[in-house]
């Protein structure tokens, strides 16, 4: 096929970065891969130490991170639950950097505490402060993503959160600030003020009314005591008639009642019955 047709058919979808006709040639990714050795190893560019953009990176303790990584490696090699010592970590560090003798690097040696003579402290005036409410407990706070949940805990004046920001910086995150703000806005129960001396004395002289007190009050004013009229349990009919008899209770398991006795004139012929008309002789003086 012609070269142009070949390029449209094959080179347009080819990802061979070494060929100038492939579609990946000249892209930002191919340029980055071609110059990464020069930029990262041969002539790397270093950022300004005072650049505020890298303030958080400068605050990290990389030496402590290296110690943690080496301790994990030592524990994996031992294959048990014993505590990894600093000497074992130093031996592994010396092995990795190629030191003949197991001498620990400088940052693995814990600094000796500086001993200072005790100095007399000036007397401090004790100022009584109102005790601040302390909240000890555990709160679950919703994260930024729909299914993320983080747990905020408090033990005295120490707060902790399970979010990555707190685990990375060990400073108050927005979830801790949310819980503390929520607690600060919570209403505080205020007890009612105690009654004054005059009010307490007046309440003490007041006696709760009872039946005897009402009877004595009515008698002092000349009002006769009226008693309630007794009411029959069955009720009272207007006009003095006797109350109706209660309706009988229907028993579905009872035997059916016998049919009522009927006269000849009230006889009802059942379905399918036979009726004979004109049978016999009529009484005298009557016609058929």
166 phi and psi angles, rounded to 5 deg: -70, -40
**pLDDT at residue 195, as a whole number:** 63
**pLDDT at residue 113, as a whole number:** 62
Whether the per-residue pLDDT at 70 is higher than 80: the answer is yes
Q: Is-contact 160 166, C-beta < 8 A?
A: yes
Mean pLDDT of 195-205: 60
**pLDDT at residue 228, as a whole number:** 63
Q: Is-contact 105 90, C-beta < 8 A?
A: yes
What whole-number distance in Å separates Cα of residue 44 and Cα of residue 280?
A: 142
* Dihedral sign computed on CA atoms, order 15, 17, 19, 25: positive
Mean pLDDT of 78-86: 86
**pLDDT at residue 231, as a whole number:** 65
Mean pLDDT of 207-236: 65
Whether the per-residue pLDDT at 103 is higher than 60: the answer is no
Which segment of 34-38, 205-209, 251-255, 270-274 scores lowest on mean pLDDT? 205-209
Position 102 confidence tier, pLDDT thresholds 50, 70, 90: very low
Residue 210 to residues 130, 203, 214, Cα–Cα distance (Å): 48, 17, 6
Query: For 137-169, what is each residue's pLDDT tens digit?
Result: 788 888 888 788 888 888 877 888 988 888 888
Question: What does pLDDT average to over the chain?
Answer: 75
Position 288 confidence tier, pLDDT thresholds 50, 70, 90: very low
103: closest CA among 92, 112, 90?
90
DSSP letter, residue 98: T
Q: Is-contact 17 23, C-beta < 8 A?
A: no
Position 125 confidence tier, pLDDT thresholds 50, 70, 90: low
**pLDDT at residue 230, as a whole number:** 66
Collapse the DSSP code of 52 into the 3-class scheme (helix H, G, I; strand E, B; otherwise coil) and give the result: helix
Give me the helices (H) in the chain, please. Answer: 3-6, 28-37, 55-58, 62-78, 86-97, 164-169, 174-184, 197-205, 211-220
Which residues on adjacent β-strands are paired with residue 141? 150
Query: For 176-193, what is each residue's pLDDT tens digit?
Result: 888 888 887 766 566 666
- Pseudo-torsion of CA 104, 106, 110, 113, nearest 10°? 140
**pLDDT at residue 62, as a whole number:** 75
Segment of 54-63, 79-88, 92-101, 259-268 carrying the highest mean pLDDT: 79-88
Query: For 23-55, what is each residue's pLDDT tens digit?
Result: 877 788 888 888 889 988 888 888 787 888 888
| Model confidence, pTM | 0.23
What whole-number distance in Å separates Cα of residue 235 and Cα of residue 158?
A: 75
**pLDDT at residue 165, as a whole number:** 84
């Amino acid at each position: 096929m012609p070269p142009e047709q070949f390029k449209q058919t094959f080179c347009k979808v080819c990802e061979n970065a070494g060929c100038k006709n492939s579609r990946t040639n000249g892209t930002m990714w191919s340029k980055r891969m071609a110059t990464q050795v020069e930029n990262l190893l041969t002539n790397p560019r270093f950022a300004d130490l005072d650049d505020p953009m890298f303030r958080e990176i400068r605050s990290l303790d990389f030496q402590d991170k290296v110690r943690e990584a080496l301790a994990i490696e030592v524990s994996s090699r031992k294959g048990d639950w014993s505590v990894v010592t600093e000497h074992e970590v130093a031996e592994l560090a010396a092995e990795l950097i190629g030191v003949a003798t197991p001498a620990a690097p400088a940052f693995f040696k814990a600094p000796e505490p500086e001993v200072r003579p005790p100095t007399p402290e000036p007397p401090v005036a004790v100022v009584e402060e109102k005790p601040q409410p302390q909240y000890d407990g555990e709160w679950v706070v919703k994260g930024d993503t729909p299914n993320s949940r983080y747990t905020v805990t408090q033990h005295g004046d120490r707060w902790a959160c399970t979010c990555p920001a707190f685990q990375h910086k060990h400073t108050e995150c927005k979830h801790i600030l949310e819980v503390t703000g929520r607690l600060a806005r919570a209403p505080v129960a205020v007890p009612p003020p105690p009654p004054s001396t005059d009010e307490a004395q007046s309440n003490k002289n007041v006696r709760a009314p009872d039946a005897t007190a009402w009877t004595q009050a009515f008698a002092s004013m000349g009002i006769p005591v009226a008693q309630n009229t007794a009411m029959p349990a069955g009720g009272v009919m207007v006009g003095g008639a006797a109350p109706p008899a209660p309706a009988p209770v229907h028993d579905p398991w009872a035997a059916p009642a016998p049919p009522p006795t009927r006269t000849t004139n009230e006889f009802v012929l059942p379905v399918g019955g036979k009726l004979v008309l004109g049978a016999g002789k009529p009484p005298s003086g009557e016609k058929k």
